[in-house]
Amino acid sequence: MKNMIEIGGPYIEKLESKARLCSDIKVGNVTRVMYFEVDEKWSEYLCTETIDAFVTGLLYYAVCNGYGIKSSSPMNGQLLFQMETYLLPVLNQIDPSEYKLIEFDVPTADILYDAKAVGTAVSGGVDSFYTIVKHKDDKRDNFKLTHLVVANLFNRYVDEGETRGQFERLKEKVVKIADETGLEMISIYTNHHEFMYNHFVSLYSFRLCSYIYALQKLFGIYYISSGAAIKDTNFYNVDSDDYDIFNLSMASTDTLKFYSSGGEALRTDKVRFISKDEAAKNHLHVCNFSESHNCSKCDKCMRTMLSLDIVGKLEQFERCFDLGLYRKNRNKMLSKIYSDCWHLYKDIVDSAKEYRYKIPLRCKFKGIIFIKPLLKIKNMIKKNRLIKRFYFKFKIDYLRFGKQKAELYRFGRNDFDNKGN
């Protein structure tokens, strides 16, 4: 067969205080090692019996390049069945130019692990804290959160040194959250980014699963925090978050279950829900432009503060945000939410009505009469694929926003606007 990714048999490499689950990945005449690195104490849970972690980690690389997957080592038979029968045909229908149908030449083995741990990743954002608060005291023991996972899932990768540095800084933040919540932290580092390309961030569901498949002897349940409401499921958005409930059902097996946590709640409901948690009050971090603190002026910070204000909890988060900056820019943000029908803005408008939060008439007027018509024209232009290709090819976004912000917008959402969750 032509254009195959060959996945070698998994093996464990021991470092000083670390252990890596490795596989030699061959594409054409080039062979590179892909690995998942954990602290040595977790090495007994690394899965060498199947290549599930590497198949899920390389899946988008394969389908977007039209490469089949070949191995002499087995993968989970249920996982392969779901990929071949449902997942890949549906993705191909969504966008045939992006998602190619590929062949698998892989044996199968259905191994049942007695894995009991329940985990979720930690970013420090609203969606992440919602999952933590909801499940850390779950009355059903089988679903009660036991572990917090920190991994190098970033929007941008510059070089190995910067990626490692960012990963270590994230670990320092998560350690504090783990200490306050009483949950155990597991850090997982992988070089998956060496097998990706510029817009991979919008196609992340199975990459998230790959980390957990590497430790499937430990995890039986894993919650992936969703920023999209299940009722708004949309297969044609560039962000796979909008159809995660489908992706995660395809990634789940009888041994390992993935759940799209938070899809049942709207944004303001999540903000209200986490406002009772002390760890959230101390460590909530939503900003796209600073990994160390909330800038308190970007769209994402302002949306979060406005939601907290609406539910009457803003003052409790003074350790996380600059409330003076919020008050200075509040009316500008209120005008913005009336200028666009984006679901996160609509949620804020609906919540303001529910909580009888007073919005100045001039803010509504400015948003509806002046800003909304301009956005309609802009959105019409955005839907034109020819204009979109021209926009990105000639790096007009770099001229508008500067390189750093343009790459965040481009690789984080593949869109003109910063509308991260």
Number of domains in the chain: 3
The answer on 124 and 42 residing in a single domain is: no
Rounded average pLDDT over 365-370: 78
Q: Exposure of 377 by Cβ count < 10 A (0-12 exposed, 13-18 middle, 19+ buried)?
A: exposed
Q: Residues 187-199: what's their mean pLDDT?
A: 80
Residues 129 and 18 in one domain: no
Q: Which of 39-48, 346-355, 359-368 has the highest mean pLDDT?
A: 39-48
Which pLDDT score is estimated for 146?
98
* 126 in the same domain as 228: yes
Residue 394 lies in a domain: no
Residues 6+ apart with CB under 8 A from 265: 130, 229, 273
Contact partners, residue 411, CB within 8 Å, separation at least 6: 155, 156, 198, 199, 200, 201
Based on the domain organization, do 134 and 193 belong to the same domain? yes
Read off the pLDDT of each residue in 118-138 and give the average, rounded to a whole number.
Answer: 95
For residue 228, what is the domain's CATH number? Answer: 3.40.50
Q: What is the mean pLDDT of the chain?
A: 88
Q: What is the pLDDT of residue 386?
A: 76
Residue 59 maps to a domain: yes
Q: What is the mean pLDDT of residues 263-292?
A: 92
Domain coverage including residue 212: 117-261
Confirm if 259 and 205 have CB atoms less than 8 A apart: no
Q: Is the pLDDT of residue 213 over 80?
A: yes
Q: Which of 159-168, 265-274, 353-362 has the lowest mean pLDDT?
A: 159-168
* pLDDT at residue 397, rounded to an integer: 76
Q: What angle do CA 400, 402, 406 make, to 5 degrees?
A: 80
Q: pLDDT tier at 74 (50, 70, 90 boundaries)?
A: very high
In a domain, 71, yes or no: yes
334 belongs to a structural domain: yes
Residue 354 to residue 346: CA distance in whole angstroms:
12
What is the reported pLDDT for 416? 28
- Is 284 inside any structural domain? no
- pLDDT for position 418: 33
- How many angstroms separate the CA atoms of 16 and 420, rounded? 38
